[in-house]
């Protein structure tokens, strides 16, 4: 037992240290210009980490303002999209015949490129509020919601319908009604699938929040700053925001993994 | 009577029902928009208008109609998507294989694969452009990067899902590592591999359209943004929205069909039923 | 206030999503929301009888209804807002004029040769306003910055001086012909594969002609591609004031830039005298600032009329308007020449690029603000 937990700990330490070490090597190569030689690029398109960090340090207030704007959109969209996706899955699982068609429709939304979806939604939400800031936020949240909806509904549907063998029979012998069956069997069974869906939709929510900012009327957000700076050829500043976007992504993903470990551990 | 019940009971029927419902909702709103906006086609056109724009033989530029134009650009985009997709698949599969062979590689590489998905494409584009020195090549490379993650992640999951008993069985046959992989690991991860393929097929197409918008030239994304920027009728934009959605779904099913044709386990499953 | 706006946004989205879920028509809920929020912002309505442009600008700025596309196109608007003592803020305008049409933008940015035509005219894509719109001209307001130019990298110019001169000579010959025959030029662009409707293309050509042949003060210019010293200096001065860069290194460099850092008149002068030898590089490409349209008719005409061939060049015209800007494409060598706005070239050089303007095609600003009369 102790040997096993020891090796487990060793494993965990390894999976934290190895990527970090690799990251350190990467950053060193980047800072020393080795990476530029390998990629055949210059310090203009790919500025040195120190320069990027300096810019982040000098503009921390402005950057934080944009980070909150983007994070708010990504999180709200993720929450709305996931809830909506789950409810659709419940509906589809309850009325299999009518419902499965709706899943096909929902997933077809994902085949529309976000560069096409974003301007459409922004046009559709024009009358929501006379305040540009409000209607832009609404539009961006709706875009992220739509994008996050599909992966949740498809995965949750699997979780609600692909039940362990004989479990349904067991519920029947208990004389459980549909609602009890849902609460005691289907709902718990879908929890791991919810996390599978979130693993996909967390990074997607961030990316789609950033892209939706390109098109939004109210000028704010990390994505907007990246585009703005790339177009006026300020690559160092653009990279500062790219790094910030990556940090947001990693932070949200780590939180998700932690939450998953916590929730699923309790179930075992 | 029986036939009626069979039709109304089928999945396809309900999917069609949903589509019909969507069309009705769309048209109701389109009617409303038509009453209130000066340029309704910018917000929500009637579907008949979209169909008209496809079938119309009115020339949009010097030489082509809307349909010819969409098709020509779709050819460019889809072929780039296909090349990027194939590269992405190969890369994803090889990476999954290497990660499954070496736990250390997996631990090092996997978090970074995640990271690449998070980096906004706009940041990567100029760098990849500088590396390849050619916009067409960078478009393919970016499409590959955007699609390989689902393949790698799912295939790796497939390798991991191989049961311990099977491992022990191969071990008792005293199979070497090469035999282990060719006889057991790779065949048993194929369903997972195909799941990855199905997820990434529509992604390859949307990614290819996205990278089109990076620079002008031939491609659906270029056409889409030109239409958005008022360089041609807005109906071209709507044509592309519908076209990309339909092609995306078809690509998903196409991979499903290929899987059925190629994979023995699918035939087995069907017989079993 | 900020918090309440956010809360409102969340509320509206939640309401929309709930209503979509219950399959109700979402229009009713959004209408409620909009009426609720409009009552909170009532009172900031436009002053009656505001006829002077200054009052109009102040009113629109106070309401937050001045529109621009941003992305490096906003500096003249900033200069104008500052002139009237307003905060440098704008609403991001889409690339159509819907925002202007539906009233969410009361002072919308428009290029005289493009959006203005769409607003006024009744051909396809037009909004049919005719004479019912008024304009505020950046040139008249004294905040004009020069736009479409011709540039390459300093390194390229140094290595291939004859290519550069030959390219300028043939291009300006193309511009001259295009301005003398705008209708034919429009047709040439349309036939070269541009998708802009031929009516709009013809309108565009006639407006572009004015920009090439009139300077910021309204005087006639006869030398196509001439770099007007005073106008260039005004552009640089305004750029230094209104381009805000977060990167302190770049911001410092911007402050120190002089005209000699961004342009060289010698290539254009030699080109006009036709004093150049065989080009060093014969296959060259040029990336436009925007989609292929009559805005760039000079290059299309030079190509179609064989002017480039005459000087020994084989030219590939690359469409712009994507996210890899023309400055980036020229800087990394994907293309040899580019068309950009002088302000964009200035910020690119401040950021560390080494670009050089070699001709100035548009002699005055084509940017106007449009309003409904």
The Cα–Cα gap between C83 and B165 comes to 79
Nearest residue, CB atoms, C191 vs list B62, B134, B229:
B62
Residue with tokens 């001065």: C237
How large is the average pLDDT for residues B152-176?
Answer: 78
| Residue A116 · residue B241 · CB < 8 Å | yes
| Interface touch C33/A122, C-beta < 8 Å | no
| Interface touch A238/B123, C-beta < 8 Å | yes
Looking at the predicted structure, is the pLDDT value of residue C254 above 70?
Answer: yes
Could you tell me how many helices (H) and strands (E) chain C has, helices first? 18, 10
Say if A219 is an interface residue toward chain C (CB within 8 Å): yes
Looking at the predicted structure, is the pLDDT value of residue C39 above 70?
Answer: no
Does A46 or C230 have the greater pLDDT score?
Answer: C230
The Cα–Cα gap between C179 and C228 comes to 19
Return the percentage of chain A with pLDDT > 90, whole number.
32
- In this predicted model, what pLDDT tens digit does every residue of C191-226 receive, in sequence order? 887 778 888 999 999 999 999 999 999 999 999 999
Q: What is the dihedral of CA C231, C235, C237, C242, to 10 degrees?
A: 150
Closest-CA distance, A63 to chain C, in angstroms, reads: 10
- In this predicted model, what pLDDT tens digit does every residue of B188-236 receive, in sequence order? 788 888 888 888 888 888 888 888 887 767 888 888 888 887 777 888 8
The Cα–Cα gap between B204 and B87 comes to 11
| Interface touch A80/C328, C-beta < 8 Å | no
Q: Which fold has domain A70-217?
A: MetI-like fold (1.10.3720)
Domain ranges of chain C: 149-364
Say if C37 is an interface residue toward chain A (CB within 8 Å): yes
* DSSP secondary structure code for residue A130 in this structure: S
- In this predicted model, what pLDDT tens digit does every residue of A115-170 receive, in sequence order? 888 989 988 888 888 888 899 999 999 999 998 998 898 889 888 888 887 887 88
What is the band of A3 on the pLDDT scale with cuts at 50, 70, 90? low
Q: Which domains does chain B have, with CATH numbers?
A: 1-44 (no CATH), 55-272 (1.10.3720.10)
Chain-centre distance for alpha carbon B105:
28
State the maximum Cα–Cα separation within chain B, in Å, rounded to a whole number: 77
What residues are paired with C133 via a beta bridge?
A: C372
Say if C24 is an interface residue toward chain B (CB within 8 Å): no
Distances (CA, A) of C125 to A149, B233, C138, C177, C197: 34, 7, 25, 28, 9
SS3 content of chain B, % helix, strand, coil (to 5): 85, 0, 15
How large is the average pLDDT for residues C118-140?
Answer: 91
The Cα–Cα gap between A189 and A196 comes to 13
Does A212 or C20 have the greater pLDDT score?
Answer: A212
- In this predicted model, what pLDDT tens digit does every residue of A206-255 receive, in sequence order? 989 998 998 888 889 999 999 889 888 898 999 999 999 989 988 998 89
What is the band of C46 on the pLDDT scale with cuts at 50, 70, 90? very low
Average pLDDT, chain C: 87
Closest-CA distance, C120 to chain B, in angstroms, reads: 13
Looking at the predicted structure, is the pLDDT value of residue C129 above 70?
Answer: yes
Nearest-CA neighbor of A145 among A133, A153, A156, A155? A153
Looking at the predicted structure, is the pLDDT value of residue C338 above 60?
Answer: yes
Looking at the predicted structure, is the pLDDT value of residue C80 above 80?
Answer: yes
Phi, psi of C127 (to 5 degrees): -105, 0
Chain B partners (3+ C-beta pairs within 8 A): A, C
* pLDDT attached to residue C214: 96
What is the band of C108 on the pLDDT scale with cuts at 50, 70, 90? very high
* pLDDT attached to residue A128: 84
Neighbours of C140 (CB within 10 A): 15
The Cα–Cα gap between C331 and A237 comes to 18
Residue with tokens 């899902």: B161
Say if C117 is an interface residue toward chain B (CB within 8 Å): no
What is the band of C31 on the pLDDT scale with cuts at 50, 70, 90? very low
* pLDDT attached to residue C65: 93
Of the listed ranges A125-134, B46-55, B178-187, C77-86, the least confidently predicted one is B178-187
Domain ranges of chain A: 70-217
Of the listed ranges A58-72, C21-35, C181-195, the least confidently predicted one is C21-35
Of the listed ranges A30-44, B8-22, B23-37, the least confidently predicted one is B8-22
The Cα–Cα gap between A98 and A92 comes to 7
Does A199 or B85 have the greater pLDDT score?
Answer: B85
Residue with tokens 């999954």: B96
| DSSP letters spanning C23-92 | T--HHHHHHHHHHHHHHHHTT-PPPTT--SHHHHHHHHHHHT-EEE--TT--HHHHHHHHHTT--S--EE
Distances (CA, A) of A113 to B21, B143, B197, B244: 23, 13, 18, 7
| C28 burial type by CB count under 10 A (0-12 exposed, 13-18 middle, 19+ buried) | exposed
Does A101 or C54 have the greater pLDDT score?
Answer: C54
The Cα–Cα gap between C6 and B264 comes to 55
Looking at the predicted structure, is the pLDDT value of residue C1 above 50?
Answer: no
Nearest-CA neighbor of B45 among B225, B238, B233? B238
* pLDDT attached to residue B6: 64
| Residue C177 · residue C301 · CB < 8 Å | yes
The Cα–Cα gap between A181 and A164 comes to 13
Say if B108 is an interface residue toward chain A (CB within 8 Å): yes
| Residue C267 · residue C226 · CB < 8 Å | no
ipTM of the complex: 0.82
């Amino acid at each position: 037992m102790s040997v096993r937990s020891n090796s487990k700990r060793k494993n965990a330490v390894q999976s934290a240290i190895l990527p970090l070490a690799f990251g350190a090597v990467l950053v060193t190569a980047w800072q020393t210009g080795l990476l530029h030689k390998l990629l055949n690029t210059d310090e203009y398109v790919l500025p040195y980490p120190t320069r990027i960090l300096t810019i982040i340090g000098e503009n921390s207030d402005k950057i934080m303002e944009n980070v909150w704007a983007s994070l708010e959109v990504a999180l709200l969209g993720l929450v709305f999209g996931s809830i909506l996706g789950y409810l659709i899955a419940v509906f589809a699982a309850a009325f299999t015949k009518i419902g499965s068609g709706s899943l096909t429709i929902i997933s077809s939304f994902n085949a529309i490129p976000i560069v096409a979806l974003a301007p459409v939604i922004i046009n559709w939400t024009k009358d929501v509020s006379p305040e540009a800031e409000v209607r832009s936020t609404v539009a961006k949240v709706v875009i992220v919601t739509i994008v996050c909806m599909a992966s949740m509904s498809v995965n949750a549907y699997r979780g609600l319908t692909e039940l362990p063998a004989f479990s349904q029979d067991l519920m029947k012998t208990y004389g459980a009604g549909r609602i009890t069956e849902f609460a005691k069997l289907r709902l718990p069974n879908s929890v791991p699938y919810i996390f599978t869906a979130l693993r996909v939709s967390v990074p997607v929510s961030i990316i789609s929040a950033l892209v939706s900012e390109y098109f939004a009327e109210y000028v704010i957000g990390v994505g907007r700053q990246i585009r703005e700076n790339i177009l006026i050829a300020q690559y160092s500043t653009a990279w500062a925001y790219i790094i910030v976007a990556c940090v947001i992504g990693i932070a949200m993903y780590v939180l998700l993994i932690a939450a998953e470990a916590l929730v699923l551990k309790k179930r075992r | 009577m029986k036939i009626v019940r069979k039709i109304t009971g089928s999945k396809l029927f309900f999917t069609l029902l949903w589509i019909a419902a969507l069309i009705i909702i769309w048209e109701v709103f389109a009617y409303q928009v038509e009453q209130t906006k000066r340029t309704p086609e910018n917000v929500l056109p009637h579907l008949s208008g979209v169909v008209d724009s496809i079938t119309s033989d009115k020339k949009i530029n010097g030489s082509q109609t809307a349909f010819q134009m969409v098709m020509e650009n779709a050819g460019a985009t889809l072929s780039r998507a296909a090349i990027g997709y194939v590269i992405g698949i190969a890369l994803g599969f090889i990476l999954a294989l290497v990660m499954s062979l070496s736990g250390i590689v997996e631990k090092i590489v996997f978090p970074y694969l995640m990271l690449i998905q998070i980096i906004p494409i706009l940041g990567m584009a100029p760098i990849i452009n500088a590396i390849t020195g050619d916009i067409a090549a960078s478009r393919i490379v970016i499409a590959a990067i955007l699609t390989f993650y689902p393949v790698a992640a799912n295939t790796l999951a497939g390798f991991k899902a191989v049961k311990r008993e099977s491992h022990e069985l191969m071990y008792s046959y005293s199979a070497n590592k090469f035999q282990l992989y060719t006889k057991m690991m790779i065949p048993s991860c194929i369903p997972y591999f195909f799941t990855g393929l199905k997820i990434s097929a529509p992604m390859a197409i949307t990614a290819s359209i996205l990278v089109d918008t990076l620079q002008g030239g031939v491609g659906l994304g270029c056409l889409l943004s030109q239409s958005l920027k008022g360089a041609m009728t807005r109906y071209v934009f709507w044509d592309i929205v519908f076209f990309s959605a339909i092609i995306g779904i078809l690509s998903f099913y196409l991979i499903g069909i290929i899987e059925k044709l190629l994979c023995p386990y699918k035939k087995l499953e069907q017989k079993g039923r | 206030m900020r918090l309440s706006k956010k809360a409102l946004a969340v509320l509206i989205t939640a309401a929309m999503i709930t209503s979509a879920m219950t399959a109700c028509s979402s229009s009713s809920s959004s209408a409620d929301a909009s009426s609720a929020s409009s009552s909170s912002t009532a009172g900031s309505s436009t002053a009656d009888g505001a006829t002077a442009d200054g009052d109009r600008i102040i009113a629109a700025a106070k309401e937050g209804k001045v529109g621009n596309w941003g992305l490096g196109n906003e500096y003249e608007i900033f200069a104008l807002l500052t002139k009237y003592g307003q905060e440098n803020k704008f609403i991001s305008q889409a690339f159509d004029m819907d925002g202007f049409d539906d009233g969410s933008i009361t002072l919308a940015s428009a290029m005289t040769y493009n959006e203005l035509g769409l607003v006024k005219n009744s051909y396809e894509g037009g909004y049919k306003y005719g004479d019912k719109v008024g304009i505020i001209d950046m040139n008249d307001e004294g905040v004009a910055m020069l736009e479409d130019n011709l540039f390459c990298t300093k390194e390229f110019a140094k290595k291939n001086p004859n290519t550069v001169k030959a390219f300028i000579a043939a291009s300006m010959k193309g511009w001259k012909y295009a301005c003398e025959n705008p209708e034919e030029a429009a047709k040439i662009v349309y036939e070269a594969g541009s998708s802009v409707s031929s009516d709009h293309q013809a309108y565009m050509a006639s407006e572009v002609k004015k920009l090439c042949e009139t300077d910021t003060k309204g005087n006639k210019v006869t030398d196509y591609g001439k770099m007007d010293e005073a106008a260039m200096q005004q552009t640089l001065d305004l750029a230094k004031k209104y381009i805000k860069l977060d990167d302190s290194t770049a911001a410092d460099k911007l402050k120190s830039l002089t005209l000699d850092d961004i342009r060289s008149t010698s290539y254009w002068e030699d080109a006009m005298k036709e004093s150049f030898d065989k080009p060093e590089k014969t296959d060259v490409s040029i990336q436009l600032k925007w989609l292929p349209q009559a805005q760039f008719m000079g290059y299309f005409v030079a190509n179609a009329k064989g002017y480039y061939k005459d000087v020994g060049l084989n030219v590939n015209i690359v469409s712009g308007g994507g996210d890899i800007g023309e400055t980036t494409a020229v800087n990394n060598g994907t293309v040899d020449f580019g068309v950009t706005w002088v302000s964009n070239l200035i910020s690119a050089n401040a950021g560390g690029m080494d670009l050089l303007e070699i001709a100035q095609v548009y002699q005055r600003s084509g940017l106007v603000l449009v309003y409904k009369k």
